[in-house]
Amino acid sequence: MAKYDLDLFVIGGGSGGVRAGRVAASMGKRVAIAEEYRFGGTCVIRGCVPKKLFVYASQFPEHFEDAAGYGWAVGESRFDWATLIANKDKEIARLEGLYRKGLENAGARLIDGRAVLVDSHTVRVGGETFTAEHILVATGGRPNPHVALPGREHCITSNEAFHLEELPASIAIEGGGYIAVEFANIFHGLGVKTTLIYRGREILSRFDGDLRKGLHEAMEAKGIRILCQDIIEQVEKQPDGRLAAHLMSGGVETFDKIMLAIGRVPNTEGLGLEAAGVETGVRGEILVDGYSRTNVENIWAIGDVTDRVQLTPVAIHEAMCFIETAFKDNPTTVDHRDIATAVFSQPEIGTVGLAEEEAGKHFEELEIYRASFRPMRHTLAGRQDKMIMKLVVDAASKRVVGAHILGPDAGEMAQLLGIAIKGRLTKDVFDRTMAVHPTAAEELVTMYQPSYRVRNGERV
């Protein structure tokens, strides 16, 4: 008789939890997975997927403008927010159904409810209790509620942005990371007067400096107002329903909506982690080793709840490493190096590897290959947006340690560049690679001479 009811109990039905549960079940393991809201998690339900659909919607005004240069006469256009929301909701429901079907087909048991740890091998969902040899916590994260901000109850987060009853005439977005920047571009593209407020010197900290500056300039040129080195200190709701934002710089500005996008925090409250003896960090994140194992031998955690790298593909990769380690007798550590990623701003950012500033801390001398040009698609349209492409190369080994792109389809290019960077290819390999012409991406293999060098962190 089996010692436990299950081989694996997964808490959280997001990308990481679903992948781990589905693969384990397909191996014949006895698996149950509990989700208190909707299967698919942040990415599918209220993150990457609906956000990308909003990005597509917000790009059409520029497409309509550009069409004239190519001989098209586009008639009067009209945007309907309710139609976008309805179609988005329909697609999200379809994807959630696929997640459920995949788990069911693999043989996993789906439980709709909040799971709480009772001890290191026991989980309770509602009035039902389960024991499991392994427990995997994959409960993700949520927007930072900014509880210290007076009046924060009048503000929205990215969660609510996907379900607004109507599009506001104006919005202020506080933050300077992925979510803030992407939503600033989305709302602006949909016709909303948009202001981005960020406490730092420049948006998108930890990204390459040239891309940060280039995107900032491009966003302002489009009409997005960006206030750096400022914060909202208080929000007041006025009699007409609009919101007054008191800024650290001393001004008071009024908006229809204020969105807080100042990071995300792990979902660990009320999970029973203390009862099971699982250690957490200062932000509430579950502490794990390189194999995603907690301090309790049979309890594991992956994805945003560990606050390592908050990206969907990372959670999925961590899930697969967990499967190898826990069920295939093949201990596999998670490799968080050289993760390709994109910011779906307008223009888009695609990046992988080290930024110039970070690489300068690790290598004595760098060669920087940089090109800035107007992509062909903008020439007949008359659009002045510039594209930036940049390769960061270790001068000693000639290995390309970073690649950074600002411009159309940058995210698509970053995915393929990720293979080259992960494969530790040298600049010589790039130089020997023939270009695909005419494309913007060909610039990546035709920059033969460095634009400048960096020694001991300083450009020379």
- Residue positions annotated with a catalytic role: 437
Asked whether residue 175 is marked as a ligand-binding residue, the answer is yes
CB under 8 Å to 288, separation ≥6 — which residues? 294, 300, 301, 302, 306, 308
Q: How far apart are CA 148 and CA 211, in angstroms?
A: 32
Asked whether residue 36 is marked as a ligand-binding residue, the answer is no
CB under 8 Å to 12, separation ≥6 — which residues? 33, 34, 35, 41, 137, 138, 139, 140, 267, 303, 305
Place of tokens 């299967």: 39
Q: CA-CA distances (angstroms) from residue 179 to 47, 153, 174, 367?
A: 9, 20, 10, 32
Asked whether residue 342 is marked as a ligand-binding residue, the answer is no
Asked whether residue 177 is marked as a ligand-binding residue, the answer is yes
Structure tokens at 103: 């788990």
Distance in angstroms between the alpha carbons of the first and the last residue of the chain: 71
Q: How far apart are CA 300 and CA 293, in angstroms?
A: 4
Structure tokens at 53: 């659909």
Asked whether residue 368 is marked as a ligand-binding residue, the answer is no
- DSSP symbols for 353-416: E--HHHHHHH-SEEEEEEEEE--HHHHTTT----EEEEEEEETTT-BEEEEEEESTTHHHHHHH
Q: How far apart are CA 301 and CA 269, in angstroms?
A: 14
Asked whether residue 257 is marked as a ligand-binding residue, the answer is no
Asked whether residue 179 is marked as a ligand-binding residue, the answer is yes
Asked whether residue 40 is marked as a ligand-binding residue, the answer is no
Q: How far apart are CA 169 and CA 194, in angstroms?
A: 9
Asked whether residue 113 is marked as a ligand-binding residue, the answer is no
Across the chain, how many H-helices and E-strands are there? 13, 23
- Helix 209-222 and helix 178-189, axial crossing angle in degrees, nearest 10: 20
Asked whether residue 182 is marked as a ligand-binding residue, the answer is yes
Q: Are 95 and 53 in contact (CB under 8 A)?
A: no
Asked whether residue 89 is marked as a ligand-binding residue, the answer is no
* Binding residue ranges for FAD: 52, 304
- Binding positions for NAD(+) are 175-182, 263
Binding-site residues sit at 52, 175-182, 263, 304
